[in-house]
């Protein structure tokens, strides 16, 4: 069969090539000005000739790809199977908002994201950030953000870290960690827990967000009479604290090993605050194995409010991040940025503590 082109479709439908292009490009602003009769004729001709628009040709013409790139920040040697529920919730919000606006989403991982913008493979970029305490990629990322700023690319970072002095301002949408930890501290004070620990990542290079949460919790608990001493803060590894190999960014194993470590040393506090819900779930599993009653002997608080938090054997108290809303807001912003190059966003959203049966 001879492959037919857009010219053949136009001839069969009795319209111009430009009209065919408008109708077969669902993102075309001119599409709405085409009559239903003309649209039907073109679609029927395209179907009869088995014609499909050439994506490669659209790229060569520099047209919009109607595609938003989503950079997952997975390690290079991992695949999509290691995406956490955190990332999937962001993706749900991004996907819904993109679809409503006639866009598709392309997952990007472990690559030079600027390349996809430079060749116009994507029209915009949304990045989910997991800022490390010590980021060996920092200089490369700084150079990339400087390029984005210079070229005025539409991009946004979800839950990133503030730009350092002298660095370009990074468009961002994120959670208010201070507010989340303040709400946790208020619950701890109200419950009268006499001692509190923190379970983070058992890795030499944990997330800086966890360190930020530890500092905020310490500050909000000051003067409460609740013991929050350094030996109860397990965030990082070394000095006798084991390292847990990474599977993705966060690990249930962190929580399990942390409770085992505290149990062996008879240092289990009255309440454990966890860096995220995956860690909390691992800790809860270990508590069942050791016969520790939740919440009578150990209260557990997570962060993120995982979709499974309410369905555990003992439903998990957690700080709810509106991750789906982050995704929708990110799409709204990059689409606005395309039409208004001067648009900027630095949005911090207050989370909400959801109390359940683990406290």
SS3 annotation, 279-345? HHHHHHHHHHHCCCCCCCCCEEEEEECCCCHHHCCCCCEEEECCHHHHHHHHHHHHHHHHHCCCCCC
Sign of CA dihedral 175, 177, 182, 187: positive
- What angle is formed at CA 359 by the lines to CA 319 and CA 223, rounded to 5 degrees? 80
- Give the Cα separation of 314 and 50 in Å (integer): 56
Residue 69's nearest CA partner among 96, 46, 98 is 98
Residue ranges and CATH numbers for the domains of the chain are 6-53 (1.10.260), 67-175+323-350 (3.40.50.2300), 177-320 (3.40.50.2300)
* Nearest-angstrom CA–CA distance, 176 and 320: 11
Beta-ladder partners of 106: 69
Cα distance between residue 256 and residue 280, in whole Å: 9
* Residues of the chain below pLDDT 50: 1, 27, 29-31, 74-75, 77-78, 81
Cα–Cα distance between 268 and 272 in angstroms, integer? 8
- DSSP code at position 2: P
Taking the C-alpha atoms of residue 40 and residue 272, their distance in angstroms, rounded to an integer, is 63
Closest CA to 21 of 3, 7, 11, 36: 7
Strand partners, 69: 106, 125
Q: pLDDT of 72-98, one tens digit each?
A: 764 454 455 456 788 889 999 999 999
Strand partners, 195: 227
Q: What is the residue-averaged pLDDT of the chain?
A: 85
Whole-number Å distance between alpha carbons of 322 and 307: 11
β partners of residue 104: 67
**pLDDT of the residue at 280:** 97
Q: Residue 94: which of 279, 282, 334, 258 has the closest Cα?
A: 334
Containing 179, the helix (H) or strand (E) segment is helix 177-191
State the greatest distance between any 2 C-alpha atoms of the chain, in Å, as a whole number. Answer: 83
Helices (H) and strands (E) in the chain, counts: 12, 12
DSSP state string for 221-250: HTTSS-B--GGGEE-S-BTTBPPPPPSSS-
Which three-class secondary structure state does DSSP give residue 91?
A: helix
Query: Could you give the C-alpha distances from 218 to 202, 221, 295, 301, 313, in angstroms and in order?
Result: 20, 5, 22, 15, 30
Residues in the chain: 359
pTM of this prediction? 0.80
């Amino acid at each position: 069969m001879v492959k037919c082109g857009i010219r053949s479709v136009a001839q069969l439908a009795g319209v111009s090539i430009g009209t065919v292009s408008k109708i077969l490009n669902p993102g075309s602003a001119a599409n709405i000005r085409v009559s239903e009769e003309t649209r039907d004729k073109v679609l029927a001709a395209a179907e009869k000739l088995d014609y499909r628009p050439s994506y490669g040709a659209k790229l060569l013409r520099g047209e919009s790809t109607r595609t938003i790139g989503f950079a997952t920040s997975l390690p290079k040697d991992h695949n999509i199977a290691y995406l956490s529920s955190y990332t999937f919730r962001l993706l749900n919000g991004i996907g819904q908002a993109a679809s409503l606006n006639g866009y598709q989403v392309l997952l990007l991982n472990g690559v030079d994201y600027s390349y996809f913008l430079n060749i116009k493979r994507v029209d915009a970029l949304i990045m989910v950030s997991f800022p490390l305490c010590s980021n060996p990629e920092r200089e490369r990322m700084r150079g990339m953000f400087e390029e984005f700023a210079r070229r005025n690319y539409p991009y946004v970072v979800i839950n990133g870290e503030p730009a350092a002095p002298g660095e370009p301002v990074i468009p961002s949408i994120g959670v208010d960690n201070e507010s989340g930890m303040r709400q946790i501290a208020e619950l701890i004070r109200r419950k009268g827990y006499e001692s509190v620990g923190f379970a983070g990542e058992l890795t030499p290079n944990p997330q800086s967000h966890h360190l930020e949460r530890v500092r905020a919790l310490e500050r909000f608990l000051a003067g409460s009479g609740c013991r929050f001493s350094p030996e109860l803060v397990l965030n990082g590894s070394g000095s006798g604290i084991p390292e847990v190999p990474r599977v993705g960014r966060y690990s249930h194993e962190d929580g399990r090993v942390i409770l085992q470590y505290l149990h062996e040393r008879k240092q289990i506090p009255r309440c454990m605050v966890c860096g995220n819900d995956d860690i909390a779930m691992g800790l809860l599993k270990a508590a069942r194995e050791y016969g520790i009653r939740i919440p009578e002997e150990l209260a557990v608080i997570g962060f993120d409010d995982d979709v499974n938090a309410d369905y555990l054997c003992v439903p998990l108290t957690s700080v709810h991040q509106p991750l789906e809303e982050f995704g929708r807001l990110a799409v709204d912003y990059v689409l606005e940025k395309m039409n208004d190059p001067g648009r900027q966003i630095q949005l911090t959203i207050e989370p909400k503590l959801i109390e359940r049966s683990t406290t």
